[in-house]
Each structure stands twice: as structure tokens, then as C-alpha cells.
Structure 1
Amino acid sequence: MTATIGSETRKEDRYYTRVAPTPALIERVEPAVWGGDASAGMFGAQELATHERDGFVSIPQLLTAEEVAGYAAELDRLATDPAVRADDRTVIEKTSNEVRSVFEVHKISEAIGALVSDERVAGRARQILGSEVYVHQSRINYKPGFGGGGFYWHSDFETWHAEDGMPVPRAVSISISLTENYPHNGCLMIMPGSHKTFVSCVGETPEDNYKESLREQEIGTPDQDSLTALADRHGIAMLTGAAGSATFFDSNCMHGSGGNITPYPRSNIFIVFNSVENATVEPYYAPKRRPEYIAARDFTPVPRS
């Protein structure tokens, strides 16, 4: 489909979105695992096959108990630092006025910056993407008890393609849990296999859409019929696990999480690795780029540790 964004006419784009009056389900042509060499990293052949099939793979214990305690203390420090709270990179919950997310956290926190280049993290991303990688986005997410807001169903790639100019879904995210993830405290939910279908959304991207979407996303969210079709086809997996567990998931996975009305908080470190061969260009379906702390324009590869 050809679309006009501002004065620029885009050439044929397989993953068109936010330009048609009706949604569409578009089958993906790219693989989820671009490397696939089990001898090239920490993932085994079965884990890579699982990632290709389901779009995600979980690691029961990525971090030690001691590391979890250290990173949890770092998250508490950041959440209570007045300078961090006042920073543009910090997102505040609409209802509770608590910190929801802190972006570009690998540049704010030395400890999390070191974690990004850890072979357990970046090494696995390289193995999946089959290339050197850079950090497209990093953040910490807080979901406090008695009021942590949810994240509605969405594909990250839809937003990164439309608003950040990511050409194809050759990116992978890792969510590292620093608290116990229960079914009832807003755990991550993914539709296994949904990464193979791109959901084209309805509604043009407003100017500075990120200012609202980071608190509560509306534009770029799938319609209910498409979500129902994907859920009927793939089901819904609830990703629970102990503190220190982690999940790598494809950029086009349909995922979300409910609100947390339990007493048990949920927090995680979230890092997005993009292939250096998939560096972002101008946004495909947005008036202008989002800030660099949300979508990096520095494509320097993560150094090998």
C-alpha cells in the first residue's frame, strides 16, 4: 500500500497501518529467529525453535537472588529520586500519580547500563537477530500494588514502524522480572504465534502522540475483532515466574497486561534490541520522530562483554 505522510509519499509498504479506514491482518514474511545457530550463544536449539514458533521464550532464572536484590534497590532509588521523577524520561501514572516507567534507563543507571551488555542479555539478542545489536529503547516499569495500571493489547512493532521508522520486525525485547509474577498482579500476557501476523490499525497518528500513549495507548491499538481472531487462533499465555526470571519476545507479538489491584507489586527491566541491519529511518506513519530517549537514533552496537 502507498501512503502519503505530510508531503512525502511512501513506497509500497507491506506493514501499512493507521492509513486505511478498516483494519487488516497481514501475514509476516520475515523469520523471528534470524541467526539460528545454537552453538553461537546461550540459547539451545530447542529454545530457538520455541522462539520461532511462539514468538517468545522464557528463562526461569536469568538473574541470581543477589542480583535481583541489587536491581530492585536500584529501581526503588530511581523511583524516589526527585530529579528522576521530574525528568522528561519519567512517565507518571494517570490515576495514582506514581512512577509508571523510566525511559532510557540504561543511560541513567550505571548498573542497568552494565546489564545491557551482559552476555546473558545482549548475547542472546544477537543470537536471535543474527547480527550485532543496538538498544532501540530501555525502561523500567513499575506496577505497584493497589493501583498499577495495565498495558492494553498491542504489537510493539506497529508503533515502532509507524512512529519510529523501524523497517521490519527484526527486533527483540527482554523483560526481566524483579518481583514475583502471578496471574493476578498484572503479569505479561502474550498470544503465542501472534508474531506471525501484523495487525494494521485504524486512526491517524496525532502530533506528539507519545505524550499520551506512554500513559495510556489509544492510537495503534488493535480493534476487538482482530484481537478476538488472534486469541481464537493462538490462545493467551500468562507469563508467571519468580523474581529473576526473564522473557525474550519478538517485536510483533500481541501482548499486554492487566492492572494490579492486589497488594503485590510487579516491576521489571525492559530492554529492546534492534539489529544494526534494521536501523530506523523516518517514521512511516507519523508526522515526526519521537524523542531519542524513546526511540534511539544512535545505532552503535552494544559492546561484547
Structure 2
Amino acid sequence: MQLTKEQLEHFDREGYLFFPSLFSPQETQKLLDAVPELYSRREAYNVREKGSDAVRTNFAGHLVSEPFARLARHPRMVQPVVDLFGEQVYMHQFKINGKMAFEGDVWQWHQDYGTWLNDDLMPTERAMNVAIFLDDVNEYNGPLMFIPGSHKKGVVEARHDLTTTSYPLWTVDNDLIAQLVERAGGKNGGIVSPKGPAGSMILFHSCLLHASSSNLSPWNRVSVYLSLCAVSNHIRRFKRPEYIAHRDFTPIECLPDDCLLKDYPVDVPWKNGLPPSALQTSSVPIDEMRKAA
């Protein structure tokens, strides 16, 4: 799947691309069927909502579940990012966000690169998210919201919010959000929210400001996020556990395009539980660790 000139121009200008119904219902259902078993596990990689047993985020599902291991190597998700960067990519992070019916909490306004820079010492913003909807996304079940063009601002000042939700995030001040929304068009396009059927895909810049409201509807909104990073831009610190910020910088080798419908062999090293190494952290930058060794 190669991006057209028009798509490249749109991405440069707006900071995102939306591909409605890119995956078939059969492909999407294969993934959705694998979610309950993953969410049922009592492992550190399942972050649950405050005061609820509902899963907010499942990390590293591609190391546990074969269907998601295949999605992590899907050319429709990986190749556009390779084309944009002109370089091979590795999996920095893999998330299955479960904004569950009646229980899915907010995601505050933030830039993903702000977290990757502050926590992981990722050198530049040569990383981005590619997301696939596993449920239909509508205006009621907490869709993503973007501020078009906000990636042009680069990295903005953020604070570490440890209290609003069950997952800490580097969030952006409301005054700056209001300014950027106004600059992007105010009530006339200053915030956009791609919505569509299950199987739709979004690709967005790591500096694009985004958020989502709570899900008060009776419909789940489960989405999978591949955070793909240029290999040369790999993180320089392991402050977060490996199940959140991965340490294997091996370039992704894509499977054939029908990999969600055929059982191509894939490695799932954490299928039977997290290894102790997946929980280890260090605040020392990699270069200093190597010197000490």
C-alpha cells in the first residue's frame, strides 16, 4: 500500500490520514475475537480504569497473541510509515485501547512524542501511530479528536498528569489547546474527529495533539495502536518497563497482505506470562549503561 502524492500532501498539512474500511469485516473480527482472552489476564500489561475492572489499555498484545503478532507485521499498517520515513521501523509500543461501553474514561490532550521524549529519550519525532478500529466509531463512544496542523508546532510544553486517569500522561495546558484550536479554524474545523466502521485505519504524526472524551454510550470502542519508530531513532533510556516501551530495535519484516486470514507462523514469546526482564527499568541513558559495562 503506497501513499499517493495527495495523501502525502494531506499528511504534511494536517498531520494525519484516515482510511475508512481499509480492513475487511472478516479481518477485523479475527482481531476482535482475540481481545477478551487478552483482557482477562491478570498481568501488569493490562491497565484498568480507575474504580473499574474494565481494561483501559493492553500493552504488548503482539508478544502474547498470534492474531496481534500478525497485525504487528501487516503491510497495510507498516509500509506507509516506512515510506514516510524512508527507513525501516521497529515496534516502539503496541496498545489495544479499550474504551468500553459506559466505563471508558477520557484521554487528556497530549502529544505522543512528548511522552516518548520525556520518558524514553527518543531523539526526534521520527515515530508515529497507526491505529485500526475494531469497533464502529461514532460521535457517542469517545472517538479520537485531533487539532489539524498542530504537529507543525513541534514539541510543546507538557506536565506529567499522574492523577486524572489510571495511566500517567504528559498533558498539554488548556490555554495552549484553545490557541491551537483557534489557529486551526476554531468552530470551523479546529478540531476533527475521524469516525467510521470497524476496520478503518488512522495514521497520525507523533506531535499531533489529540484527545478523546469518555464513553457514555452502550457501544465499545476498541482500537489497536502500533507506535512505529525509525530504527535509527530508537529510544535511549529504559525508564519504563519493556512491556510499555520496547527494547528490541529489530526492523519489522512484513507478512503477506492476507496474514490476518491465514495462520502464518509468528513468535509470541510472552504467551505464557511476562518474563522478569519485561518489568525491569533504568533511569540511566543507554550510552551511560554501555560505558559502565
Same fold (TM over 0.5): yes
Does residue 293 of structure 1 match 2:253?
no
**1:48 equivalent in alignment to 2:4:** no
Q: Is 1:61 aligned to 2:21, yes or no?
A: yes
- Distance of 2:165 and 2:175 partners within structure 1: 24
Q: How has the CA–CA distance of structure 1 residues 172 and 202 changed in structure 2, closer, same or farther, with 3 Å as cutoff?
A: closer
Contact 1:179 1:242 survives alignment (8 Å): yes
Asked if the contact 2:90/2:231 (under 8 Å) is kept, the reply is yes
Report the RMSD for the aligned CA atoms in angstroms: 1.8
Q: More deviation in 97-106 or 152-161?
A: 97-106
1:269 paired to 2:269: no
Give SS of 2:154's match.
strand
Letter in 2 for 1:74: A
Unaligned stretches of 5+ in structure 2? 185-189, 256-293
Among 232, 236, 242, which residue is 2:182 paired with?
232
Residue 160 (structure 1) shift: 0.3
The answer (yes or no) to whether the contact 2:129–2:228 under 8 Å persists in 1 is yes
SS at match of 1:239: coil
Cα deviation, 1:243-287, whole Å, max 9, x if unaligned, reads 1001000111100100001111110111100001211113xxxxx
Cα drift, residue 48 of structure 1: 1.4
- The answer to whether the 8 A contact 1:189-1:256 is kept is yes
Q: Which residue in 2 is equivalent to 1:215? A: 166
Change (3 A) 1:196 1:202: closer
What is the identity, as a one-letter code, of the residue corresponding to 1:255? H
Secondary structure of 1:88's counterpart equals coil
Provide, for residues 71-98 of structure 1, a one-character-per-residue CA deviation record: whole Å limited to 9, x for no partner: 111112222x3xx2x1111101103221
Does structure 1 conserve the Cα–Cα contact (< 8 Å) formed by 2:120 and 2:240? yes
Match 1:173 to one of 126, 129, 132:
129
Distance 1:48 1:105, change over 3 A: same
Q: Structure 1: where are the runs of 5+ without partners?
A: 1-40, 283-287
Q: Does 1:245 align with 2:196?
A: no
Matched, 1:122 2:78: yes
Equivalences for residues 1-305 of structure 1 within 5 A: 41-79=1-39, 81=40, 84=41, 86-201=42-157, 203=159, 215-217=166-168, 220-234=170-184, 235-282=190-237, 289-305=239-255
Instruction: Give CA-to-partner distance per residue, 1:25-44, whole Å, 9 cap, x none.
Output: xxxxxxxxxxxxxxxx5211
Match of 2:284 in 1: none
Name the amino acid aligned to 1:57: L
Q: Are the aligned partners of 1:164 and 1:280 in contact in 2 as well (CA < 8 Å)?
A: yes
SS at match of 1:247: strand
User: Deviations along 1:140-167, whole A, 9 cap, x unmatched?
Assistant: 0111111211101100000100101111
AA at the equivalent of 2:43: D
SS of 2:248's equivalent in the other structure is: coil
The match for 1:14 is none
Return the letter of the residue paired with 1:261: L
Secondary structure of the residue aligned to 1:238 is coil
Per-residue deviation, 1:107: 0.5
Provide the C-alpha distance between the structure 2 equivalents of 1:278 and 1:120, rounded to a whole number of angstroms: 22
* Alignment partners' CA distance in 2, 1:214 and 1:274: 26
Q: Secondary structure at the match of 2:171?
A: coil
Counterparts of 2:23 and 2:158 in 1: how far apart (Å)?
40
Aligned length: 250
Output the CA distance in 1 between the equivalents of 2:243 and 2:85: 22
Deviation of 1:52 (Å)? 1.0
Q: Secondary structure at the match of 1:123?
A: helix
TM-aligned CA distance change 1:296 to 1:200, over 3 Å: same
Segments of 4+ moved more than 3 angstroms? none
Q: Which amino acid aligns with 1:301?
A: P
